[in-house]
Structure 1
Amino acid sequence: MARLAVSDLRRGVSILQANPSDPPADVPAPAGFGLPYGLARIPDGRLLTADRSQSRIIACAEDGTNWESFGSQGAGVGQFQNPMGVAVSDEGRIFVADTGNFRIVAMDAFDGTGWQTYGQKIAAGSVGPGRFAGPACIQHGPGGLVVADPAAARIVQLAQLDDASWDVSSQGTFRNPAAVAVLPDGTIIVGDLTREGLSIMASPSGGITETILGDVLRYPAALAVTSADSLAAFFLPTLALCSVVRDASGWNVSLDARLDQVGIRRPTALCQLP
């Protein structure tokens, strides 16, 4: 399997080696990770995660060096409220799902340079562009930012952080979308905690074009792209870590590890490592 970083609510952030029989290595954190949600890598190679408990984001190297945090609790510039997702574009722009503030935050650098926000709380009679119930897992791909908003039971895609590019799944498509991944060709893969298998979409408004692996996998909780045609995924309640691969015959799955057997019992996100 690919080398992966995994965030865990009890253990912090750990590194899973390519050989699943090797024990995971915990990333040292001088001030802790709190409740880490979401994982990505910023341009300098450090891991990025959101600490929901202390309303901040954290960056550090795999060995725990160059550890730093940014943000405090609130709704102003440089502030977050219980963030639950992070993503980084190919250009290095950082995005944070600022869950408790019902918005997406974009920054040009980890220190908050170029701070920009988009979104507000869904209100009675207003569920349209720019409205979130609690954005959580986010990923960046060729079509822009893909946002899972489980409290609103929908997926949103934004080419830019503006109402004009808002593209949303129709009501009833999902019930609890907890995980998203975007392949290099723009294919969106969604894990819904109330569904079996994984849902494939070309765009949110285009709906689900295919459901894969529903006969063997259920309750997908986190996804990470590992190549042009593959991803890592873990599933509840078994905490099975799997490789999902697309080839000429379709989609195939193989079991890599049971995360609970290596001491990871409350994982929240995955991220591929070099």
Structure 2
Amino acid sequence: MTSDTTSSDTTGSGVPATATTFGEDTVTDARELIARYPQSRSALLPLLHLVQSVEGYVSQQGMTFCAEQLGLAEAEVAAVATFYTMYKRKPCGEHLVSVCTNTLCAAMGGDAIYKRLQEHLGSDGAPLGHEEVAGPPGESGSLMLEHAECLAACDLAPVLQVNYEYFDNQTEQSAVELVDALRRGDKPHPTRGAPLSDFKTVERRLAGLLPEDDDEFWTEVDGPSQAVETVRGAQLAADRNWTAPPAPEDVPMPEVEAK
């Protein structure tokens, strides 16, 4: 299947318009990612991350590029790019700040943190909206603010992420101090996990293009990232010699009515 729109998407010189944004290096990266999959279309999610690593969001040109590389219709690419919230449809900041506002985090202060950051990062008396950017998008110190639905760290609530790295047990004040540090150009170390980088760099890693020769990066990534609270139950069980009951043997499977 080929794209139904990309053949005419060219510059005046006959060069595909995507070539002005996505050069040969990006094409090489795309082909490397595609080669990892038995079916090329399976590489669509990594390619969308690759596009974001170049542009800082998924533009119409970015979707066209993915369609060209995979032999898909642009509508197929758009259906995926607009389904997942990780793919941004307008330019992101240097950093993406995601505040968990799901049930437990909200009850523990997540809603208050999000509202405080909206007011702190807004301008002209207007709070910053969901997926809006404080500062010129992409420039140093700029950041996009979003509320997120569950960041899977309820034991450390309230939490937020910067470029998908965790900052746990936040307060309104600590969250304000964090975004102020980001806007100054600092990169505070996350509570756990890899050291902080910018949004585009993280998107390249999410695409699956990792810095193989960066020993410092791998040391941080391979190090322990679980929190004490997360493994407390397992530690209690080990300290008290608790074990799970053995699995029953030879338990017959329930019969299923024939259709």
Question: Same-fold call, TM > 0.5?
Answer: no
More strand by share: 1
**With CA pairs under 8 Å and 6+ residues apart, which has the higher RCO, 1 or 2?**
2
Query: 1 or 2, which has the higher helix percentage?
Result: 2
TM-score by length of 2: 0.31
Using the size of structure 1 for normalisation, the TM-score is: 0.30
